[in-house]
Amino acid sequence: MVPLGVFVIRFTRAIVAVFVAALLVSPLGAQAPPTPLALSAQAAVPAQPQLTLAEKELFLQKAKIVRTRSASKGVTNTVRATLTDGVITHDASIQTIDEFMTEFRGNRGTELNFRDSWRYNVAAYRLDQLLDLDMTPPSVERKYNGKPGAFTWWVDDVLMDEEERYKKKHSAPSPGEWNRQMWMVRLFDQLIANVDRNLGNLIIDKSWTIWMIDHSRAFRLFDKIKAPDNLAGCDREVFERLKALDLPSLQAAMKDYLTTSEMKAMLARRTDIVARLEQKGEAAFFNRGAR
Ligand SMILES: Nc1ncnc2c1ncn2[C@@H]1O[C@H](COP(=O)(O)OP(=O)(O)O)[C@@H](O)[C@H]1O
Ligand SMILES: [Mg+2]
């Protein structure tokens, strides 16, 4: 039961949000018409120590798997596993897919030289770290049932995914910050040439922080970005780090996960993105909120 006062505040915020919503139309950037949030309470879980990213990576690499089940959504047969090191218990998503097809017919058309690989999950996380984006959960290489794969930290306190938010027309409490997050998602997808940003691959946590998951169909080899209209803007600090990316820094971070051609193509797209944003001028830059 939501207390009346809180309901009134939320409802008032929602009314404000609808005016902002009118400016935006597509699901990946949209603030859908607001509805009062009636979100289920999270199940009570024992308090767990806060871990640094390095500690989360180590946990994913070393913790014992105590339970597995198949993920409730998705197409690459990921496994949701519960891991424990005796102190911390947390879930991970395990993805072992590593496929190559000269021709792939998907619901977005036909793709030549199609690759779907767990490696790209690790590469995307490492790139996210190089840019200090902090929008993808930690992802590390680890064997599962004898096969190499990616173990990715299960996002804490999931509220819903973007597909559900869009369908149920929930509005973020801060539309401005929501849009700044979405603009970073769009930029990242152009940079990594992600051909699979379906709405189930964006997870929203209870602070309305957006997490990008599932990058197994990315890092394509084209030099120019495919959807320049998707570039709306960029956080100023991330933009500086984007400009500073070079082959040695990428190689040091991800040579085991991307080929040199994949890295060079990404750098070419980076150059394309930087030129387009600079052309837009100062209006394209903002300072996003702390995560
Ligand atoms: N790290 C994660 N945190 C929370 N939920 C996740 C995570 N990874 C996967 N999921 C959930 O599992 C589903 C399937 O995983 P995903 O990595 O998207 O694989 P697929 O390639 O099969 O789409 C996702 O849509 C999401 O609901
Ligand atoms: Mg997916």
Q: What is the dihedral angle through the alpha carbons of 13, 15, 16, 19, rounded to the nearest 10 degrees? A: 150
Q: Within a domain: residue 176?
A: yes
Would you state the structure tokens that stand for residue 237, as one six-digit string?
């600090």
For ligand 1, is residue 116 a contact (CB within 6 Å)? no
pLDDT of residue 124: 98
pLDDT in tens, 224-279: 999 999 999 999 999 999 999 999 999 999 999 999 999 999 999 999 999 999 99
CB 93 less than 6 A from any atom of ligand 1:
yes
Distances (CA, A) of 226 to 3, 52, 186, 222: 47, 35, 11, 8
Residues near 236 by beta carbon (within 8 Å), at least 6 away in sequence = 285, 286, 287
All residues with CB under 5 Å from ion ligand 2: 74, 201, 214
Tell me which residue has its CA closest to atom 22 in ligand 1.
Answer: 74
Closest CA to 287 of 237, 212, 247: 237
Q: Do 158 and 172 touch, CB atoms closer than 8 A?
A: no
Q: Is residue 41 part of a domain?
A: no
Predicted TM-score of the model (pTM): 0.85
d(CA 91, CA 134): 19
Question: SS3 of 165, please?
Answer: helix
The answer to whether residue 69 sits within a structural domain is yes
Domain extent for 196: 53-286
Supply the pLDDT for residue 113.
Answer: 83
Which regions in the chain score pLDDT beneath 50? 1-27, 29-43
DSSP string, 70-110: E-SS-SS--EEEEEE-SS-EEEEEEE--EEEEEEEEETTEE
Share of the chain above pLDDT 70, in %: 84
Residue 219 lies in a domain: yes
Question: Which residues make beta-bridge pairs with 204?
Answer: 160, 210
Are 86 and 96 spatial neighbours (Cβ–Cβ below 8 Å)? no
**Ligand 2 mean position to 274 CA, how many Å?**
28
**Position 139 in a domain:** yes
What pLDDT is stored for residue 281 in this prediction?
97
159 part of a folded domain: yes
Domain-located, residue 17:
no
Q: How many CB atoms lie within 10 A of CB 49?
A: 7
CB 117 within 8 A of CB 141: no
**68 three-class SS:** strand
Distance between CA atoms of residues 255 and 257, nearest Å: 5
Does residue 36 lie within any of the structural domains?
no
Q: What is the pLDDT of residue 28?
A: 55
pLDDT of 46: 61
Amino acid, single-letter form, for residue 147: K
Q: pLDDT at position 114, please?
A: 85
Q: Compute the distance from residue 42 Cα to the ligand 2 centre, in Å.
A: 23
CA–centroid distance, 201 to ligand 1, in Å, is 7
- CB-based contacts of 48, cutoff 8 Å, min separation 6: 88, 89, 90
Ligand 1 atom 1, closest CA = 154
Atom index in ligand 1 nearest the CA of residue 93 equals 8
- Is ligand 1 within 6 A of the CB of residue 137? yes
Confirm if 47 and 88 have CB atoms less than 8 A apart.
no
Per residue in 62-74, pLDDT (tens digit) is 999 999 998 777 7
Give the residue ranges of DSSP H helices in the chain: 4-21, 53-62, 119-130, 162-168, 175-192, 236-244, 247-254, 260-280
Q: How many domains does the chain have?
A: 1
